[in-house]
Amino acid sequence: MIAEYQSVLAQVHNENSYLEGEADSGLDPGTGAVAYKDADGNWHIRQATADEDTKRVVREQRNPPRGGMTVTDTGTSALEQSYNTGDNTETIGFHRYDRARLRVSPNASADPTDAEVGWDANGLISDDIDGAGAVPDNPVGRGIELIERATEDDLLVVEFY
């Protein structure tokens, strides 16, 4: 598994479906997304909603990378640099057995590892999509490892179905 916590990608087995488009709203790397074309044929990216069946994820910007960071720099993680409405947004579609680091919903159980997970209403990954104990009807994968972070959102490594 890719050990660096600067990337949404944790482990991939094949070439993934990279797609970019205009953000419909503010989007955070590591959240669920849906790509669609508008009437003019331009790609747009919107946040995944509760229990949406999508394996597309907003990823950190690479082209060009934000913040002017180099390999030896320390500072804000690329995962913490959000996209604003109208920004060109990079996404990646995952395949079966691929793994990604995804933002954990506050609705998630204390340890969502080895549980089926899906998207909540805010595009965050969770084993409880509504905060009332509802398990995902459309799980996208299984929680593998919880990455607890002191000052940023916790991440969950998810293996996709």
Please report whether residue 127 resides in a domain.
Answer: yes
What's the pLDDT at 158? 96
Q: How far is CA 62 from CA 38, 81, 88, 107, in A?
A: 24, 11, 11, 30
pLDDT at position 27 over 90: yes
> What one-character-per-residue DSSP string does 48-82 give?
--TT----EEE---BTTBGGG--TT--SS-GGG-P
Structure tokens at 60: 């950190």
pLDDT at position 32 over 60: yes
Q: Look up the domain containing 71 and give its range.
A: 9-160
What's the pLDDT at 1? 47
Please report whether residue 90 resides in a domain.
Answer: yes
Total domain count, the chain: 1
Please report whether residue 21 resides in a domain.
Answer: yes
> What one-character-per-residue DSSP string does 91-105 give?
EEE--TT-EEEEEBP
Please report whether residue 4 resides in a domain.
Answer: no
Task: Report the alpha-carbon distance of residue 29 to residue 93 in Å, rounded.
Answer: 13
What's the pLDDT at 161? 94
> Could you say which DSSP state residue 33 is in?
E
For 35-74, what is each residue's pLDDT tens digit? Answer: 999 999 999 999 999 989 999 999 988 765 555 445 444 5
For 2-13, what is each residue's pLDDT tens digit? Answer: 445 667 877 777
Per-residue burial over 17-44, b if 16 or more Cβ lie within 10 Å, else e, is eeebbbbbeebbbbbbbbbeeeeeeeee
The pTM score is 0.86
What's the pLDDT at 31? 96
For 72-103, what is each residue's pLDDT tens digit? Answer: 445 567 778 899 999 999 999 999 999 999 99
Please report whether residue 2 resides in a domain.
Answer: no
pLDDT at position 143 over 90: yes
- Per the CB < 8 A criterion, the answer to whether 79 and 67 are in contact is no
Of 7-11, 23-27, 124-128, 145-149, the range with the lowest mean pLDDT is: 7-11
pLDDT at position 145 over 60: yes
